[in-house]
């Protein structure tokens, strides 16, 4: 009989195992807003019941996404994490791609990111209705469609980039979201991860190994973005100065940086033009040794950006203090550029054209 998985980890249990101390079966868990850490096993951490599942129209549970994550992402990628953590930094093209994809999915699958995707999607749909209603009030007749395109400020959208969105479509989508709030992010985060993974695969990779008794922590947002050499706060993945850090285990951390790109390379250009070419990038993964000060710095960054939890194999008093503060997160907002062009369409009773630009702003 097929086992139906109900407890879905958004941070893989097998990954968290890498932060256990020798002969230990429990990690320290520091919860945001809680003064005292508690200990529990990795299989009981970072999971939500049916997080990747949904109910079909006949009432049965569709858990295919959870099985896909396990077979296509975790099974191929987790051995590569262990390989790097153990000190073997030679990866072939396939291994590099598998790990890049795992880290990318880990970045977008956590509740913090999925909640953002769901919230953004709903706000966009509601914004379309608001735009139509405002336009109808201005022109004195029904406006039941909006043409939308996304492009940078300095560029006018290409002709084939416009998409017509009708009032009926928006209302149907909002009704579906009301019945299944996690539907939008569940349907797109796997594809988003594929695109992010392509960018990760191109970056320069360095594995930092902790010296002495130093230990890395991880969290419920283990993929952290920041500026190179600690410069600045969070910056977007397509920024040429972006650095990604991902703890591999309690003694190893992967750091990824863009190479061969100047500061004048815009995020929009990089996102559009970046294509993985591992033949150019090569398979070299550099190795570094991190002393206590570097390990502590990276740990503090991860604790500040943790959503709700930090996980560690050893106790850290400073983590409890850090987790009393609100989590640091990216401010995202959308900027609308109104083209004020109305469409004549008998079947849609009029429409409105709008160029939309989505901006990421940082704390």
CA–CA distance, 250 with 163 (Å, rounded to integer): 47
Q: Burial letters for 147-166: b for 16+ Cβ neighbours within 10 Å, e otherwise?
A: bbbeeeeeeebeeeeeeebb
The per-residue pLDDT for 152 is 58
* Nearest to 251, CA basis, from 92, 110, 81, 99: 81
CA–CA distance, 18 with 253 (Å, rounded to integer): 11
237 burial (CB, 10 Å; 0-12 / 13-18 / 19+) is buried
The DSSP output letter for 114 is H
State the pTM of this model: 0.82
Contacts of 176 by beta carbon, 8 Å cutoff, 6+ apart: 183
The tens place of each residue's pLDDT in the chain, 363 residues long, gives 557 778 899 999 999 999 999 999 999 999 999 989 999 999 999 999 988 888 888 888 888 888 999 999 999 999 999 999 999 999 999 999 999 999 999 999 999 999 989 998 999 899 889 988 988 888 888 888 888 876 655 566 677 777 888 999 999 999 999 999 999 999 999 999 999 999 999 999 999 999 988 999 999 999 998 776 544 455 677 778 889 999 999 999 999 999 864 443 333 333 334 343 444 444 689 999 999 999 999 999 999 999 999 999 999 999 999 999 998 865 444 444 444 444 444 343 444 444 444 433 332
* Nearest to 309, CA basis, from 297, 320, 318: 320
The per-residue pLDDT for 233 is 53
The DSSP output letter for 283 is S
Total structural domains in the chain?
A: 1
CA–CA distance, 336 with 171 (Å, rounded to integer): 21
Beta partners for residue 312, in sequence order: 28
The per-residue pLDDT for 234 is 54
Instruction: Tabulate helix, strand, coil % of the chain (nearest 5).
Output: 40, 25, 35
Residues present in the chain in total: 363
CA–CA distance, 99 with 222 (Å, rounded to integer): 14
CA–CA distance, 26 with 15 (Å, rounded to integer): 14
The domain containing residue 113 runs over which residues? Answer: 1-363
137 burial (CB, 10 Å; 0-12 / 13-18 / 19+) is exposed
Contacts of 323 by beta carbon, 8 Å cutoff, 6+ apart: 30, 31, 32, 33, 34, 303, 306, 310
- How many angstroms separate the Cα of 142 from the Cα of each of 7, 134, 139, 343? 48, 10, 8, 12
Interaxial angle between packed helices 111-139 and 167-179, expressed in degrees from 0 to 180 and rounded to the nearest 10: 150
The per-residue pLDDT for 45 is 92
Q: Are 321 and 118 in contact, with CB atoms under 8 Å apart?
A: no
């Amino acid at each position: 009989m097929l086992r139906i998985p109900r407890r879905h980890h958004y941070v893989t249990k097998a990954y968290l195992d890498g932060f256990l101390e020798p002969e230990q079966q429990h990690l320290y868990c520091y919860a945001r807003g809680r003064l005292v850490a508690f200990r529990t096993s990795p299989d009981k951490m970072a999971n939500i019941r049916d997080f990747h599942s949904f109910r079909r129209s006949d009432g049965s549970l569709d858990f295919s996404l959870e099985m896909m994550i396990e077979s296509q992402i975790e099974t191929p990628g987790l051995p590569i994490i262990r390989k790097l953590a153990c000190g073997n930094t030679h990866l072939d093209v396939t291994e590099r791609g598998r790990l890049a994809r795992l880290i990318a999915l880990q970045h977008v699958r956590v509740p913090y990111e999925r909640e953002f995707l769901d919230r953004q999607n709903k706000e966009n749909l509601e914004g379309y209705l608001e735009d139509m209603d405002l336009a109808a009030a201005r022109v004195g007749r029904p406006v039941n469609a909006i043409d939308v395109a996304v492009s940078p400020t300095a560029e006018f959208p290409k002709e084939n980039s416009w998409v017509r969105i009708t009032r009926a479509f928006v209302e149907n989508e909002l009704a579906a979201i009301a019945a299944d709030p996690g539907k939008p992010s569940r349907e797109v985060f796997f594809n988003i991860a594929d695109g992010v993974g392509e960018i990760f695969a191109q970056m320069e990779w360095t594995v930092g190994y902790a010296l002495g008794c130093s230990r890395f922590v991880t969290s419920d947002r283990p993929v952290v973005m920041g500026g190179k050499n600690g410069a600045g706060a969070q910056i977007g993945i397509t920024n040429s100065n972006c650095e990604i850090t991902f703890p591999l285990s309690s003694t190893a951390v992967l750091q990824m940086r863009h190479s061969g790109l100047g500061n004048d390379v815009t995020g929009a250009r990089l996102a559009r033009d970046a294509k993985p070419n591992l033949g150019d990038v090569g398979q070299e993964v550099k190795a570094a040794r991190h002393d206590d000060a570097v390990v502590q710095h990276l740990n503090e960054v991860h604790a500040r950006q943790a959503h709700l939890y930090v996980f560690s194999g050893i106790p850290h008093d400073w983590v409890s203090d850090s987790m009393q503060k609100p989590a640091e997160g990216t401010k995202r907002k959308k900027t609308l550029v109104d083209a004020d062009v109305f469409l004549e369409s008998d079947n849609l009773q009029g429409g409105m054209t709008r160029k939309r630009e989505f901006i990421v702003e940082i704390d």
